[in-house]
Amino acid sequence: MIRVSRQVKAGNVLIGGDAPVTIQSMLSRPASDIAGNVAQAVALEKAGCEIVRVAIPDMEAVALVEAIKKEITIPLVADIHFDYRLALECVAAGIDKVRINPGNIGDKSRVRAVVKACRAKISPSA
C-alpha cells in the first residue's frame, strides 16, 4: 500500500507529496545557550542541511528564533511540547514551521489557535 502525503512548505522548502527528501537536523545545545545554538545552526547549513529544528521548552527559548533566523537562510522549525503559547510566540517571532504533538498540547481550542496563527502568517488576510 502506497501512503499518500500532502505537500507542505517550511519556509521555501517543500516537504511531502512528491517533493524530494530533505536533509534536516535538530539542534542539540541547551535552549539557554543562544550563541551555541546559532553556531550549530550555521554549521548545519554550511554542511548541507536544508531544514533545522530547535526545541522550545520555555518562553525564554523563544529568543532563539530571532537569533537563529538572523544567521541562516534555511527554514527553522520549532518543536513544541505541552504549552501551545510557546508555538504562538514562535510564530510571532518569525518561525518558518511549528511542530506540535496535538496529544500533549491540550484541548482542540489550543490546537486551533496554533493553526490560526500559522495560517495568518502564510496569508495575513485569512
- Give the cell for residue 114: 496554533
Selection from 113, 30, 41 nearest residue 77 by Cα: 41
- Residue spans of alpha helices (H) in the chain: 34-46, 63-69, 84-93, 102-105, 108-122
What is the reported pLDDT for 51?
A: 96
Pick among 3.40.718.10, 2.40.50.140, 3.20.20.20, 3.40.228.10: CATH of 8-122: 3.20.20.20
Domain boundaries, the chain: 8-122
Q: Which residues contact residue 110 at a Cβ distance below 8 angstroms, ignoring those fewer than 6 apart?
A: 84
Q: Mark the ranges of the chain whose per-residue pLDDT is less than 50.
A: 126
- pTM for this one? 0.88
Roughly how many angstroms between the first and final C-alpha of the chain, as a whole number? 36
Cell 495568518 belongs to residue: 120
Cell 496569508 belongs to residue: 123
Cell 524530494 belongs to residue: 20
Q: In whole angstroms, give the CA distance from residue 87 to residue 23.
A: 23
What are the percentages of helix, strand and coil residues in the chain, rounded to 5? 40, 20, 40
For the stretch 53-86, pLDDT in tens is: 999 999 999 999 999 999 999 999 999 988 999 9
